[in-house]
């Protein structure tokens, strides 16, 4: 995975492919909504396991059945391909949670 900081154009292009993600500053972010707190926690557990596997750790905000992930590559000082690869996996993990609402 590349840890070279992406240009604004590269970020915009990648965000076009991940329409539910946005760029508030020097990170990409998405809020996932689940049917209840336990489903949200199931997702957070899967995110934590993935983060440990790839050694890339998002900021996580939990509000009952909503989970917001914020991704940035601190070593690169901004957004890298690594963040978009994590975002793709987060989207996949969210779709695997039963009764995702």
- Domain 8-96 in CATH: superfamily? Transcriptional coactivator/pterin dehydratase (3.30.1360.20)
Distance CA 79, CA 71 (A): 8
pTM: 0.92
pLDDT at position 2 over 90: no
Distance CA 99, CA 77 (A): 37
Q: Per residue in 19-58, pLDDT tens?
A: 999 999 999 999 999 999 999 999 999 999 999 999 999 9
pLDDT at position 99 over 70: no
Residue 76: how many other CB atoms lie within 10 Å:
16
Distance CA 48, CA 56 (A): 10
pLDDT of residue 3: 79
């Amino acid at each position: 995975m590349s840890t070279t900081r992406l240009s604004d154009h590269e970020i915009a292009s990648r965000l076009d492919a991940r329409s539910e993600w946005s760029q508030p500053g020097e990170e990409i972010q998405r809020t996932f909504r689940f049917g209840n707190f336990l489903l949200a926690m199931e997702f957070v557990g899967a995110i934590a396991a993935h983060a440990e596997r790839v050694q890339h750790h998002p900021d996580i905000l939990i509000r009952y059945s909503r989970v917001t992930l914020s991704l940035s590559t601190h070593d690169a000082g901004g957004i890298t391909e690594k963040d978009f690869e994590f975002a793709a996996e987060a989207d996949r993990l969210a779709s695997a949670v039963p009764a995702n609402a």
